């Protein structure tokens, strides 16, 4: 059963359509990437899900049930613009924010301490937020987002300000949360993180949902039949009836398989020429390349 289902979501600001009838299903227990250029409408969509603003039209379903507003206990939201109180102590702040979700003081403290110990930051408990670095504040913000154990977790640029070690730490926790059944809605501008973290993605541009699917399927959908080949020795390869050579750098080739031809026919070509290969790999597009192609195509229409 889908965790979140959005049907025909419309939103207009000053006669500008921010969302134009978006239909989106976010399954349970996965990391789902919400992508789009600045001003595409993804932040507006997140704010509608989290009740910060209301949609002009459309319906939201949570676990199959139509809801007017999500219960705060059902979601955790970590916005790109962080919302910590600079002069408040870390422990007090985490307790306050977690109880705002409707959790008792006792349960909130128990859950928070589990996370504090997991991140080895108990010594921060009585520090003011203003004393912490941006990366340290990020970890506190993450705990405040997940401490009440919500089934839906929305993370907007969660790795901002983190060094590689702490990025891996948060990344691993995101995977563990998804494995335990939580649905993670992940928004970022960094496409390499999308490939590392997300199982499925949706791409919004100018208020329209223009692309959605699993990362694996989308990379296959937009592949261009290009291959990277490494030969055992440096031999000049010419265009032929099976493939054309796009680039040759000594014994490294990038080739394009012609329409109607199969990869085994390309391998047979090298076999017939008695050319030994040490590597033969299909070149799949990155999510960044797909993103640029789709958004540029939309922009030119």
Residues 6-21 have pLDDT tens digits of 999 999 998 889 999 9
Domain boundaries along the sequence of the chain: 4-220, 224-283
- 1: confidence class by pLDDT, cuts 50, 70, 90: low
Tell me: the pLDDT tens digits for 204-229?
Answer: 999 999 999 999 999 999 999 999 99
Measured distance CA(147)–CA(145) in Å, rounded: 6
Q: What fold does the segment set 224-283 form as a domain?
A: Alpha-Beta Plaits (3.30.70)
pLDDT number for residue 300: 44
- Quick one: average pLDDT of 46-60? 92
Tell me: the pLDDT tens digits for 139-194?
Answer: 999 999 999 999 999 999 888 878 899 899 999 999 999 999 999 999 988 888 89
**Residue 301 above 50 pLDDT?**
no
pTM for the structure as a whole: 0.87
The overall longest dimension of the chain from CA atoms, in Å, is 75
- Quick one: average pLDDT of 273-281? 95
pLDDT number for residue 2: 66
CATH code 2.40.70.10 for 4-220 = no
Could you please report the per-residue DSSP string of the chain? Answer: --SEEEEEEEEEETTEEEEEEEEEEE-TTSEEEEE--TTSSHHHHHHHHTTSS--SEEEEEETTEEESS--GGGEEEE-SS----TTSBHHHHHHHHHHHTT--HHHHHHHHHHHHHHTT-GGGTTSBGGGS-HHHHHHHHHHHHHTT--SEEEEESTTTT--HHHHHHHHHHHHHHHHTT-EEEEE-S-HHHHHHH-SEEEEEETTEEEEEEEHHHHHHHT--SEEEEEESS-------SSEEEEEEETTEEEEEEPTT--HHHHHHHHHHTT--EEEEEEEPPPHHHHHHHHHHHHHT-
CB-based burial, 172-200: b 16+ in 10 Å, e otherwise = ebbeebbeeebbbbbbbeebebbeebbbb
């Amino acid at each position: 059963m889908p965790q979140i289902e959005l049907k025909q979501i419309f939103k207009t600001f000053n006669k500008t359509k921010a969302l134009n009838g978006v239909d989106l299903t976010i399954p349970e227990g996965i990391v789902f990437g919400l992508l789009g250029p600045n001003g595409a409408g993804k932040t507006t969509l997140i704010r509608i899900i989290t009740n910060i603003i209301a949609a002009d039209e459309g319906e939201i379903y949570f676990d199959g049930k139509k809801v007017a507003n999500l219960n705060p206990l059902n979601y955790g939201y970590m916005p790109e613009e962080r919302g910590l109180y600079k002069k408040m102590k870390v422990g007090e702040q985490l307790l306050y924010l977690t109880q705002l979700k409707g959790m008792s003081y006792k349960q909130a403290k128990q859950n928070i301490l589990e996370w504090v110990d997991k991140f080895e930051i108990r010594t921060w408990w009585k520090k003011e937020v203003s004393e912490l670095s941006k990366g340290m504040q990020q970890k506190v913000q993450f705990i405040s987002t997940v401490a009440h154990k919500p089934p839906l977790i929305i993370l907007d640029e969660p790795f901002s300000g983190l060094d590689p070690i702490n990025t891996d730490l948060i990344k691993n926790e995101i995977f563990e949360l998804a494995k335990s059944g939580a649905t993670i809605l992940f928004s970022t501008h960094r496409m390499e993180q999308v490939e590392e973290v997300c199982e499925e993605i949706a791409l919004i541009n100018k208020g329209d949902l223009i692309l959605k699917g699993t990362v694996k399927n989308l990379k296959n959908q937009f592949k261009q039949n290009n291959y990277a080949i490494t030969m055992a020795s440096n031999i000049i390869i010419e265009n032929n009836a099976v493939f054309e050579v796009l680039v040759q750098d000594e014994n490294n080739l990038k080739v394009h398989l012609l329409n109607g031809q199969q990869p085994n026919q390309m391998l047979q070509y090298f076999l017939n020429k008695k050319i030994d290969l040490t590597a033969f790999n299909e070149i799949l597009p990155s999510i960044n390349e797909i993103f640029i192609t789709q958004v540029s195509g939309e922009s030119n229409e």
